[in-house]
Amino acid sequence: MKVLGVNAVFHDPAAALVADGRVLAAAEEERFSRREHGKEPVPFSSWELPVQAMRWCLDEAGLAPVDLDVVAYSYDPSLALPPGSEPLSGPRPPLDPAWGQLRPLYAEHAAHFLAAALPGLQPARVTHVPHHLAHAASAALAAPPSGGGREDSAVLVADGRGESTSHLAGFYSGAAQPRVLVRQPLPESLGLVYRELAQHLGFGAVGDEYKVMALAARGQPTMAGPLENRIAYRGDGLITASEVDWAALAPALPPGAEHTPQHADLAASVQNRVEEVLLALAGWLHEQTGRSRLTMAGEVALNHAANSRLARDGPFEEVWVQPAAGEAGTALGSALQTAADLGETVEPMPGADLGRGWDEDALAAVLDSARIGYERPDDLTAEVARALSEGALVGWFQGRSEYGPAALGRRSLLADPSRRENLDRIGRVRGEREFCPVASLVAAEHAPDIFSGGPLPCPYPLFEHHVAPRWRARIPAVVRPGARTRAQTVRAGDDPLTWRLIRDFGSRTGLPVLAHTELRRAGSPRVDSPRDALECFGSAPVDVLVLGPYLVRRCRA
């Protein structure tokens, strides 16, 4: 059984291929088009499909559209709100809410759009998967084995919105379909509230929620009390989260404006309320299911501070978050759910490195074509470790690219964490010096000595960790307010090359940790191809670029 999953309705369009129950490929359209988030997050862009991502997934598996048994589209127009009832997306909606009806209209005709984009595909092979069900499958069905497998997993999905709801909670119990215990009707939505706050603070409408988290770390939840009635758990798995009078709490800011302590306190207060509501939801879900493991997806699941509160203070023994928890992940979830519905035994995702990759010959050909000098060191990781220890910023391009928003050591920007100034230097590359998201890349065997307060090992940087007191002054570039960081652990058996790099850097410096973030410029997606990497290297203050076994150094005047 060959199933292509597609996300297209909202933003971050993506495609994923599942064949015989195995995840073979997954990619986001932005990595091909070089347009951040793939398209504008507005209703009249809903017709745009991840054409390049879909075609690449098929090419990667050696398939043609005619070979597909099903194309699973992660939105069910039959579940959408009726005309005239589309909720406002905030106190200052950019468009009349009636435009929202374009989403189900385009989704109803998705089969014909897909057949036009993939010649040979029969429209009858296109099926619609409810949006939050696709998210749920991307979590529970894709998670690695643990205990009783998916039968031991509760699932919580929370994002801005689906067809007519904003969160789903339930569990899988042997059957292909989960047992859904609750769906939260719109307009109540933790995701939309957080997005509205981002806009009120002068950030972007989509993708800038991490900046709100960064700002929240600088403030105190002094306004949590006034927000208790507007962002609250109501019981029975339902919430209140809408109609916040932001202007009464802090003045709105235009893009690029300086944030005051009042704005930081507002961000901290909303973060506090979101965490408290999620803890209450998780407590209710645990009481209802008795499961030991919570799997999560949806854009709210990318809130690493909230994830750590759930892992630390919640009732579940384990919390697993889909690394592509945002909209792009529904492509994978719709494919997995459809395959399971059709009787396939689906396997967990093998990792998040599901995108494009290039072999050594292909990388050398790109370098030769660019007429750029490069070398092939006898000991690559030792040479890169030396450069890092001497202060170089290193672009690290290895293997297949990551699916989802987090840098995972495949398309990363690396630096020495002991140099505080590297945080500012990384921010200059990224073009977001104040809120640049820098995480810790650490050898798994050393992580418990350095980090606590979050799950370990932690192969995806989706949780927040406390930095041990004796380490804070040693790795200041990755320590955020409150002595916290996001840590990603690397095991030798999972990613031997990156593990060796961390080992060699540790041998030189005594620090088995690297600072890392996405290799990209502001306003652009993470680099995906070697050409993207060279363009980023040529336009940003990166000192060394590593493409597979090859090393490129910046020429100095």
Measured CA to CA, the distance from residue 512 to residue 476 in angstroms comes to 14
Measured CA to CA, the distance from residue 216 to residue 210 in angstroms comes to 10
The pLDDT, as a whole number, for residue 327 is 96
The pLDDT, as a whole number, for residue 83 is 66
Strand residues in 230-297 grouped as ranges (E): 231-235, 238-241, 293-297
φ, ψ at 553 (rounded to 5°): -110, 145
Of the candidates 392, 383, 435, 417, the one whose C-alpha atom is nearest the C-alpha of residue 541 is 392
The pLDDT, as a whole number, for residue 176 is 78
Q: Using a CB cutoff of 8 Å and minimum separation of 24, what contacts does 35-41 make?
A: 35/525, 36/207, 36/523, 36/524, 36/525, 37/11, 37/12, 37/206, 37/207, 37/525, 38/11, 38/12, 38/13, 38/14, 39/11, 39/13, 40/11, 41/10, 41/11, 41/205, 41/206
Measured CA to CA, the distance from residue 300 to residue 458 in angstroms comes to 19
The pLDDT, as a whole number, for residue 129 is 98
285 burial level (CB within 10 Å; 0-12, 13-18, 19+) = buried
Place of tokens 């494009």: 356
306, 280 Cβ separation under 8 angstroms: no
Place of tokens 């932005």: 30
The pLDDT, as a whole number, for residue 256 is 84
Positions of the chain with pLDDT lower than 50, given as ranges: 88-96, 557
The pLDDT, as a whole number, for residue 97 is 59
- DSSP character for 248? G
pTM of the model: 0.94
The pLDDT, as a whole number, for residue 555 is 75
The pLDDT, as a whole number, for residue 149 is 54
Q: Which two tokens stand for residue 167?
A: 């969160």
Helix, strand, or coil (residue 488): strand
